[in-house]
Amino acid sequence: MKKIAFMAFMAFSNAVMAQTWIWYPGDMDIWTGNRINNLRTEDGGFFPVFWRTDGHCQTVEFSKTVELAEAEEVEIAAEGRYSVKIDKRYQFGMPGKVGIPKGKHTIKIAVNNIVSPPAIWVNGPTIKSDDTWTVSDYATAERSDTWLGIDGKPMFDRIDRRPSGYRLPVTAVAPAKKETHGREIFVDFARESMGYLMLNGVKGNGHVNVFYGESPDEAHNKRRAYLRDKIVFTADSITDMMTMTVTHRTADRDYRLPHSRAMRYALIECTGNVSLSGVTLMSEMKDLGKKYRGSFTCNDTLINRIWDVSAYTLHLTDREVMIEGIKRDRWMWSGDAIQSYLMNYYVFMDAPVVRRTIWALRGKDPVKQHINTILDYTFYWFNSVYDYYMYTGDREFVQRIYPRMQSLMHFVEGRLDSRGMVQGKKEDWVFIDWSPEKMPKGGQLSFEQIVYLRSLEAMSLCAGVAGNKSDSTEYHKRAEKLKAQLIPMFWNDSRKAFIHNVEKGIQNNYVTKYANMFAVLHDLVDEKRKNNILNNVLTNDSIMPITTPYMRFYELESLCALGKHTHVLKEMRGYWGGMLSEGATSFWETYDPKEKYPQRLAMYGHPYGKSLCHAWGASPVYLLGKYYLGIKPTKPGYEAWEAAPCLGDLKWMRGDVPAPNGNIHIEMTRQMITIYAEGCGGGTLSFKSRTRPKSSYGTPVHEGDGQYRLKIEPGKKMTVKYKEMK
Amino acid sequence: MKKIAFMAFMAFSNAVMAQTWIWYPGDMDIWTGNRINNLRTEDGGFFPVFWRTDGHCQTVEFSKTVELAEAEEVEIAAEGRYSVKIDKRYQFGMPGKVGIPKGKHTIKIAVNNIVSPPAIWVNGPTIKSDDTWTVSDYATAERSDTWLGIDGKPMFDRIDRRPSGYRLPVTAVAPAKKETHGREIFVDFARESMGYLMLNGVKGNGHVNVFYGESPDEAHNKRRAYLRDKIVFTADSITDMMTMTVTHRTADRDYRLPHSRAMRYALIECTGNVSLSGVTLMSEMKDLGKKYRGSFTCNDTLINRIWDVSAYTLHLTDREVMIEGIKRDRWMWSGDAIQSYLMNYYVFMDAPVVRRTIWALRGKDPVKQHINTILDYTFYWFNSVYDYYMYTGDREFVQRIYPRMQSLMHFVEGRLDSRGMVQGKKEDWVFIDWSPEKMPKGGQLSFEQIVYLRSLEAMSLCAGVAGNKSDSTEYHKRAEKLKAQLIPMFWNDSRKAFIHNVEKGIQNNYVTKYANMFAVLHDLVDEKRKNNILNNVLTNDSIMPITTPYMRFYELESLCALGKHTHVLKEMRGYWGGMLSEGATSFWETYDPKEKYPQRLAMYGHPYGKSLCHAWGASPVYLLGKYYLGIKPTKPGYEAWEAAPCLGDLKWMRGDVPAPNGNIHIEMTRQMITIYAEGCGGGTLSFKSRTRPKSSYGTPVHEGDGQYRLKIEPGKKMTVKYKEMK
- Per-residue pLDDT tens digits for B26-48: 999 999 999 999 999 999 999 99
Contact (Cβ atoms closer than 8 angstroms) between residue B6 and residue B32: no
Share of chain B above pLDDT 70, in %: 98
Residue B496 distance to chain A (closest CA, Å):
41
Average the pLDDT over B228-242 and give the result: 97
Chain A residue numbers with beta carbons less than 8 Å from the beta carbon of B82 are: 46
pLDDT value, residue B11: 40
HSE (side-chain half, CA atoms, 13 Å) at B26 = 23
B560-570 core/surface letters (b: 16 or more CB in 10 A; e: else): bbbebbebbbe
pLDDT of residue A561: 97
- Say what the ipTM of the complex is: 0.89
Helix (H, G, I), strand (E, B) or coil at A80: coil
Whether residues A90 and B42 touch (CB distance < 8 A) is answered with yes
Place B620 in a pLDDT band, splitting at 50, 70 and 90. Answer: very high
> Is A55 in contact with B53 (Cβ distance < 8 A)?
no
pLDDT band at B1; cut points 50, 70, 90? very low
Residue B444 in 3-state DSSP? Answer: strand
Q: Which residues contact A307 (CB under 8 A, 6 or more apart)?
A: A296, A297, A620, A621, A624
Chain B residues within an 8 Å CB radius of A241 = 92-93
Percent of chain A with pLDDT over 70: 98
Residue A395's identity, in one-letter code, is: R
Distance CA A192, CA B53 (A): 44
pLDDT in tens, A230-266: 999 999 999 999 999 999 999 999 999 999 999 999 9
**In angstroms, rounded to a whole number, what is the distance separating the alpha carbons of residues A588 and A606?**
16
Phi and psi dihedrals of B387, rounded to 5?
-60, -45
CA dist B706 and B642 (Å) reads 18
Nearest by CB to B90, from A45, A92, A369: name it: A45
Q: Is the preceding omega at residue B117 within 30 degrees of 0, hence cis?
A: no
A47:B110 CB<8 A: yes
Return phi, psi of residue B570, to 5°. Answer: -65, -40
What are the beta bridge partners of residue A196?
A: A282
Backbone Cα Rg of chain B:
27
Q: Report, as an integer, the average pLDDT of A613-617.
A: 97
**Span B706-716, average pLDDT:** 96
User: Are A200 and A218 contacting, i.e. CB atoms less than 8 angstroms apart?
Assistant: no
Tell me the mean pLDDT in the region B259-272. 98
Q: What is the pLDDT of residue B344?
A: 98
Interface test with chain A among B138, B207, B239, B369, by most A beta carbons within 10 Å: B138
Greatest CA separation found in chain B? 82
CB contact under 8 A, A51 and B139: yes
**Which residues lie below 8 Å from residue A306, measured CB to CB, with a gap of 6+?**
A572, A573, A576, A577, A580, A620
Cβ–Cβ < 8 Å for B288, B295: no
Q: What integer best gives the mean pLDDT of chain A?
A: 95
Summarize the confidence of residues A638-658 as an average pLDDT. Answer: 98
pLDDT higher than 60, residue A512:
yes
CA A171 to each of CA A161, A178, A193, A196, B89: distance values in angstroms, whole numbers, following the listed order: 20, 19, 11, 10, 35
Quick one: average pLDDT of B633-657?
98
Minimal-distance CA residue of chain B relative to A371: B139
User: What's the CA gap between B344 and B327, in Å, rounded?
Assistant: 20
CATH numbers and ranges of domains, chain B: 22-165 (2.60.120.260), 170-284 (2.60.120.260), 375-430+436-545 (1.50.10.10), 631-721 (2.60.420.10)
- Å from A496 to nearest chain B CA? 41
Contact: A45, B91; criterion CB under 8 Å: yes
Looking at residue B725, what is its pLDDT? 86
User: Do B694 and B664 meet the contact criterion of CB atoms below 8 Å apart?
Assistant: no
* Ordered strands of the B59-68 beta sheet: B89-90, B81-86, B103-112, B59-68, B134-136, B141-143
Q: pLDDT for B491-511, tens place per residue?
A: 999 999 999 999 999 999 999
B34 and A58 within 8 Å at the Cβ level: the answer is yes
Mean pLDDT value across residues B397-415 = 97
Q: Which residues contact B443 (CB under 8 A, 6 or more apart)?
A: B423, B501, B502, B503, B504, B508
Q: B111 vs chain A: nearest CA distance in angstroms?
A: 8
pLDDT, residue A558, reads: 97
- Pick from B46, B83, B368: CB nearest A112: B46
Q: Which of A61, A94, A114 lies at the smallest CB-CB distance from B114?
A: A114
Distance from CA of A221 to the nearest CA of B (A): 15
pLDDT digits (tens, 9 = 90+) for A180-237: 999 999 999 999 999 999 999 999 999 999 999 999 999 999 999 999 999 999 999 9
Q: Who wins on pLDDT, B239 or A7?
A: B239
Q: Which residues of B touch A61 (CB under 8 A)?
A: 48
Q: Name the band, by pLDDT with cuts 50, 70 and 90, for residue A535.
A: very high
pLDDT the model gives residue B17: 62
Nearest to A197 by CA among A128, A272, A255: A255
C-beta atoms of A52 and B368 within 8 A = no
Do B241 and A137 make contact, defined as CB atoms within 8 angstroms? no
Nearest-CA distance from B138 to chain A in Å?
5
pLDDT band with cut points at 50, 70 and 90 for residue A10: very low
**pLDDT the model gives residue A17:** 62
Q: What DSSP string runs through B207-251?
A: EEEEEEESSHHHHH-TTT-SSEEEEEE-SSEEEETTTTEEEE--S
Q: Strands A237-240 and A228-233, how do they pair?
A: antiparallel
Confidence of residue B18 (pLDDT cuts 50, 70, 90): confident
Q: What is the pLDDT of residue A348?
A: 97
Q: What are phi and psi of A112, to 5 degrees?
A: -115, 130
Residue-wise pLDDT for B157-204, tens only, equals 999 999 999 999 999 999 999 999 999 999 999 999 999 999 999 999
CB A432 within 8 A of CB A514: yes
For residue A44, the distance in angstroms to the closest alpha carbon of chain B comes to: 4
Q: Answer whether A89 sits within 8 Å of B43, measured CB to CB.
A: yes
Measured in angstroms, the CA of A186 and the nearest CA of chain B are apart by: 22
| Chain B, nearest residue to A47 by Cα | B83
Amino acid at B223: R
Residue B726, pLDDT score: 73
Cα distance between residue B307 and residue B572, in whole Å: 10
Separation between Cα atoms, residue B62 and residue B111, nearest integer Å: 8
Burial of A660 (0-12, 13-18, 19+ CB in 10 A): buried
Preferred mutation among A37, A49, A79, A92 to probe B, highest tally of B CBs within 10 A: A92
